[in-house]
A and B are shown apart, each in its own frame.
Chain A
Amino acid sequence: MAIQAPGKRYGKRLEKSKVFGHGGVARRAMFADLLITPMVDMFVIIVLFLIANFSATGEVLMMTKDVQLPEAVNVREVEMVPVVMVSKDQVLVSGTVIGRVEDLSREDYLNIPSLEEKLREMKKQYEDLHSLAKDEAGGFKGDVNIQGDKDVTYKIMKRVMFSCATAGYNNINFAVMSAGSGKALEEKANSVSQ
C-alpha cells in the first residue's frame, strides 16, 4: 500500500469532491508552454516553398478577365518588354486603348496606324532614355509580348503583328500559360545541341 500523508481520508466517493477531496481543487498553472518546434518547422517549410516558387522577374503581364491565354508546353521565360494586349473587345498597349476589335475586324488594312504610332513613340522613348544614360549594352532589341485572348482570330493578330514589325518590334513573343514544365524547351535544346 502506498504511503499517504497524515490527515483526513475520505472514501472513494468523495475522493474527487471539490469540497473534501483534493482532485478538483488543484490550481491550474497560469503559464502554458507553447510548442514552438512544430511552428518553426512549419515556417521553415513555408519559406522554402515560397523561395522555390519565387520569380525575380515579377509579374510582367497584367492578367485580366477579358484575356484568357492559350496553353503551351515548350515555353521560355517571359521578359520585361512592352506588352500589346488583345482581348475579345479591344486592343491595348500599356493600358492605353488603341482600338476596338469589332472595328478592326471590319477594316481590310494590313496595319493598325494608332498602334504603330504608339509603339514608335515607345521605341523612341526607350532609345532616348538609353542614349542619355550612355547605356550601349541595353540597346533596343525590338522585343514585344503579345498577350492575346485565345478566341481572337488571326485576322486581328496579323494586323497587330504587322504593326509591331513596321514599328521596329521584330522579335514577337506570344504570351501563353505554361501547361507543362518550363524546362521542356531547355532539355530539348540541350539534346539538339548534343
Chain B
Amino acid sequence: MAGGMDLGTGGKSKKKPLDATINLVPFIDLMAVTISFLIMTAVWTQIGRLQVSNSGGPTDPNQQEEKEKTLPLSLLITDKELRLSIGPTTDAPIPIVRDAKGRIELTKLEARIKEVRAQLPDQSAITLQPEDNVKYEDLVRIIDDCIGSGLPNVSVAAAMG
C-alpha cells in the first residue's frame, strides 16, 4: 500500500489498495485526435474588416437632431496631399510624407482630427474623397486612422473635379 491510507476496515476483510492507476491510453488518443482536428481547422491568417459606407446613402431620421452638434467633415486625398474640410472651411493641406516602408505618416492628420473631436465631441462621421490614382493601401490606412481617432462612421466618395 504505497502511499495509500489504511482505513482500518478490520483484520478479516481483504484490504483493497486505494491507489488507482489511471489508464492514460484513451486520454492520449483523445488528445491526438483533438490536436489533429484543431490543426486542420486552424486559421493562421488574422483577417479583419473595415466597415465603410458609400456616401450619398439614405440618412437616418434620428440623426437629424444630432446634425446641429456636428459639421460635415470631409477629407480630400490626392497622391501628394490631404485636405481636411470642416463645414465650410478648408484647412491648410497636409503634405503626404512616407516612411522607409512607403507608408503614409498620418500623425498630423491624427492630431487635427483629435482637435476637431475636442471641439465637436458628437462628431463621428467623415467622408473621404480619394482621387483615382490613390492606392488602396493608402486609403485603407487613412480609414483605419480615422476610426482609430474616434470617427467610426467613415464614408468613401469619389473626389469631385
Please give the residue numbers on chain A whose beta carbons come within 8 Å of chain B beta carbons, in ascending order.
36, 39-40, 43-44, 46-47, 50-51, 53-55, 58-61, 63, 69-79, 86, 145, 148-155, 157-158, 161-162, 165, 170-178, 182, 184-185, 188-189, 192
**Complex Cα gap A46–B41 (Å):** 14
Specify which chain A residues have a CB less than 8 angstroms from the CB of B39 in the assembled complex: 50
C-beta contact mask, B127-140 vs A, less than 8 Å → 1, else 0?
00011111111011
Chain A residues with CB under 8 Å of B49's CB are 75-79, 145, 173-176
Q: What are the interface flags for B14-33 relative to A under an 8 Å C-beta threshold, 1 for contact and 0 otherwise?
A: 00000000001001100110
Contact indicator A152/B35 (Cβ below 8 Å): no
| Contact among B43, B52, B57, B135 with A173 in the assembled complex (CB-CB below 8 Å) | B52
Determine how close the nearest CB of chain B comes to the CB of A44; give it in whole angstroms.
7
Chain B positions within 8 Å of A, measured between CB atoms, are 24, 27-28, 31-32, 34-35, 38-39, 41-43, 45-54, 57, 130-137, 139-141, 143-144, 147-148, 150, 152, 156, 158
A78 touches B47 (CB 8 A): yes
Could you name 22 residue pairs across A and B whose Cβ atoms are closer than 8 Å? A43-B32, A47-B35, A53-B42, A61-B47, A69-B47, A71-B140, A72-B48, A74-B144, A76-B48, A77-B48, A145-B49, A153-B136, A154-B130, A154-B132, A154-B134, A157-B139, A172-B54, A174-B52, A175-B47, A176-B47, A188-B148, A188-B150
